[in-house]
Amino acid sequence: MSTIPAGTYVIDPSHTEVGFTVRHAGISKVRGKFEKFEGQIVVAEDIAQSSAIVTIDASSINTGDANRDGHLRSADFWDAENKPTWTFVTGGLEGDGEEFSLKGDLTINGVTKPVALDVEYNGAVTDPFGSKRIGFSANTEISRKEFGLTWNAALEAGGVLVGDKVKILLEVEATPKDA
């Protein structure tokens, strides 16, 4: 039985990270994160009935390189000007206790695909200021090509510049909605 307190929570953006890693040139990984996002988590008494919805501002990408970020925002990748919002809407939860699978629909670049997040519940606390908080870590891996993100460049020695598999990594902290 899960120990997650039932209730409606909002994601605290100052204590949450929405990040990813992808192979670059087949020899290293580029890491990035989104600076603007919001979301709501509803933890039901019957944990299987819980839900979440998250929206991400696609233009808020930060990989630590302004030129790369501009290229990612362009029509070569996700065309943030015309497709500014990404979403994740849950469709089910499997498991109980501290680890579970959260299934839902992820929309990137105007393309929606089902994904499953492996989630770890990190606990609940009341901070020194009296705010209740819950925390989760989650991850999944997607194929960027399945979301229409097909831009690439061939390497002289073989292979391509940008890998297809993207690991999505989340560290989420949320507070009660009415707090």
CATH number of the structural domain spanning residue 119: 2.40.128.110
Give a yes or no: residue 95 inside a domain.
yes
pLDDT at 2: 52
Give a yes or no: residue 147 inside a domain.
yes
Six-digit token pair at 179?
């707090």
Give a yes or no: residue 2 inside a domain.
no
Burial of residue 154, with CB atoms counted within 10 A of its CB: 0-12 exposed, 13-18 middle, 19 or more buried: exposed
Give a yes or no: residue 45 inside a domain.
yes
pLDDT in tens, the chain (179 residues): 358 899 999 999 999 999 999 988 877 899 999 999 999 999 998 888 899 999 999 999 999 999 999 999 999 998 999 999 999 999 888 886 688 899 999 999 899 999 999 999 999 999 898 889 999 999 999 999 999 888 777 777 777 778 889 999 999 999 999 86
Give a yes or no: residue 125 inside a domain.
yes
**Residue located via tokens 């919002």:** 85
Name the pTM for this structure: 0.89
Number of domains in the chain: 1
Give a yes or no: residue 167 inside a domain.
yes
State which amino acid sits at residue 126: T
Domain span including residue 27:
7-176
Calpha distance 169→18 (Å, rounded) = 6
Give a yes or no: residue 64 inside a domain.
yes
Give a yes or no: residue 1 inside a domain.
no
Helices then strands, each counted (H, E), the chain: 1, 11
Q: Give φ, ψ of 173 to 5 degrees.
A: -125, 135
Six-digit token pair at 20?
């990813």
Calpha distance 84→18 (Å, rounded) = 16
